[in-house]
Homo-oligomer: A and B are copies of this chain.
């Protein structure tokens, strides 16, 4: 039950992702834009950068996502007459009418974006995007860009952590639509959890728009909707060779065998549940995977499953497995597997060797990690709430800060040191050691020469003293992705970005990927950038200005 995964970003996908309206921003962007315009400063060249201050979830890394959505937004950015009329009604009556004409003609043709590629492993305080253009325009873009990057990166990073916790072979299904922040929150979640490492989604619209493989079989309501075997129809199922067989009678025979084998109490086996399983199996003989805990797994659900599955096997079909949705999932999975093995042996049915056990029910990162410690037989895990709402930390806290105006570096040096910014237009390099693992991200001024492989360089890790490092390889992280109004790179499909995430994660040493208390990855300023910060803090550069005499 999987939709084909497209190889590039399709028309259907673009149409939904381009619809971020330019009014979807904070009002202060417009009040500031007007003040710039009124002072004649709106065309001044300015540079903003987007970054986050702390790696999410107490972890050692994040994944950068949402870039392509930003580029589509920038490409279609313009105000309609209706937008401008609304703004006129909101800004003070004395606002110069010519400002609204200016807005009506505005687009991103003067904007250039350099960025880390979508799906790249990134770290706190490293610039992710640099947005350059006329001051009023790049200011107006702030909230929309943050909105598009913040949650996409957060939920993608969360998915990558669940993937690390689950190990590489367990199949992971995202099923959080009903818990997300409304319809589009759910779509964004499905898209970026797939990018972060989930295999499948329950969200059909995400399959339709983004080509993500979709999965799902039945809910408890399906099981509880049945009352008796009278409701099963059709009552026959053809063998794979085409001969119709009385499927109910056949299953009853198997149920009696299974009950005997497991010494079950027939009085506790629910006929209504059996009816639900039978009815599902005749509709989907190749895809039989019921939820078996609507009543009691041990007394009813597992027996009914085995009976229907054995009947399917007799007719030549391969049943798929079971889903557990309550109670102690690990313990139950072991019990279920034991019964599968017993049936396989006792009835000589090899198909029972490949039955899968799916577990759902409020799975968190912690309970996922426990799967690798506790004995269990769970093959597939479905995750909803904790994945899409990022319970552990529901916001990434990306910010968008002004770093240069008219070629002059700008810096906010707050009383709260955490809120200070690093001035100037930058370049970012990832330094890789001889073991092939990245060991340091170097933030330089844009005008500096690139570090060279094999050549020692001085740098200043954030919050530490200076040190000298020698990279074995150097990768430039920033690429120009949007130039004067045009997207200058091919937009990747969801599947392509997903592959990039896993490749990028492989460059990181496991000690930084530990989910709990990872070793901190080093982010450092170049010597020149470090000196610029110090100069500005001392007030000796031409950056700050004080009223020495009033």
Contact = CB atoms under 8 A, between A and B. Distances in A.
Contact of A180 (B181, B216, B269, B416): B181
B189 A181 contact: yes
A204 B23 CA distance: 5
B186 A188 contact: no
Contacts of A266: 547-550
Contacts of A252: 550
A389 B388 CA distance: 11
Nearest to A270: B546
B547 A271 contact: yes
Nearest to A408: B227
Nearest to A180: B181
Nearest to A390: B394
A181 B181 contact: yes
A495 to B, nearest CB: 16
Contact of A270 (B3, B179, B227, B545): B545
A398 interface: yes
A185 B185 contact: yes
B413 A295 contact: yes
Interface in A1-55: 1-4, 20-21, 23-32, 34-36, 38-41, 46, 48
Given A28-B218, A544-B270, A225 B405 contact: yes
A547 B218 contact: no
A285 B30 CA distance: 16
B181 A185 contact: yes
Q: Identify the interface centre among A27, A205, A220, A287: most chain B CB within 10 Å of its CB.
A: A27
Contacts of A391: 394-395
A414 interface: yes
A181 B188 contact: yes
A151 B186 CA distance: 11
Given A30-B204, A32-B218, A86-B207, A228 B545 contact: yes
Contact of A26 (B204, B287, B548): B204
Nearest to A287: B92
A447 interface: no
Contacts of A293: 414-415
A531 interface: no
A268 B282 CA distance: 81
Interface in A51-108: 83, 86-87, 89-92, 94
Interface stretch (A119-127, A272-280, A472-480, A507-515): A272-280
Contacts of A36: 222, 225
B415 A297 contact: yes
A410 interface: yes
Contact of A395 (B259, B279, B385, B412): B385
A347 to B, nearest CB: 17
A411 interface: yes
Given A94-B286, A180-B185, A547 B269 contact: yes
A401 B221 contact: yes
B280 A35 contact: yes
A177 interface: yes
Contact of A178 (B135, B189, B398): B398
A90 B1 contact: yes
Interface string A288-305: 000001111100000000
Interface stretch (A142-150, A373-381, A452-460): A142-150
Given A180-B147, A547-B255, A214 B270 contact: no
Given A30-B204, A46-B225, A268-B546, A152 B182 contact: yes
20 contacts: A3-B86, A23-B208, A27-B216, A31-B284, A35-B283, A39-B231, A39-B232, A39-B282, A41-B279, A86-B204, A151-B182, A179-B395, A182-B185, A220-B402, A220-B414, A256-B550, A269-B550, A270-B545, A294-B414, A385-B397
